[in-house]
Amino acid sequence: MNFVEPIRDPNTLEMVVKHLEKTNERNYIMFIIGLYTGLRISDILLLQVKHIDKNEIRIREKKTNKQRVIPLNNKLKRPLMKYIDGMESYEFIIQSREGINQPLSRSMAYKVIKELENYFRLAALGTHTMRKTFGYHYYKETKDVVTLQKIFNHSSQSETLKYIGITQDEISTAIMQMNYF
């Protein structure tokens, strides 16, 4: 399994989002759904218009089979509502260009993220990058690992911190601060 990182630097994250907004609306919507909900890529790709109402996303998670209600952040709400305007309730939001009303495949979503990695010369991006970026920045801003653990449905706080890369950051900082002489 490949090691996947969040996008830690806010300026880099902003450049990535703006690039997607200018170049590919579908990929932009996919990315910001992950960024503002913390959903797994498997759930993002299976989202249909019927799962969205004016203020929230209502889904049954693929991995856990649990029902989830996620409020729509305004940074996501406006572009998402504009994007799905005119779509039928049964339509997948993130559609493949192959066939009619087919969700984008996980491998194509991975390719989209890898293209961003190459374009911006970033390292270790993957389909979990959006979810990890959500978690990383949420934690950095709030220090609320308990709520983040619940959002991610993790069994422990240490699992959550490791998942978003905080544990590795702390290890790296500790090593870099070592000074014997």
Catalytic residues: 40, 63, 128, 131, 154, 163
Which of 18, 62, 16, 21 lies closest to 39, judged by CA? 62
- Cα distances (angstroms) measured from residue 57 to each of 49, 67, 112: 9, 11, 23
CA diameter of the chain: 67
Angle between helices 129-142 and 145-152 (to 10 degrees): 160
Apex CA 42: angle with CA 25 and CA 132, to 5°? 80
Rounded to whole angstroms, the Cα distance separating 46 from 59 reads: 9
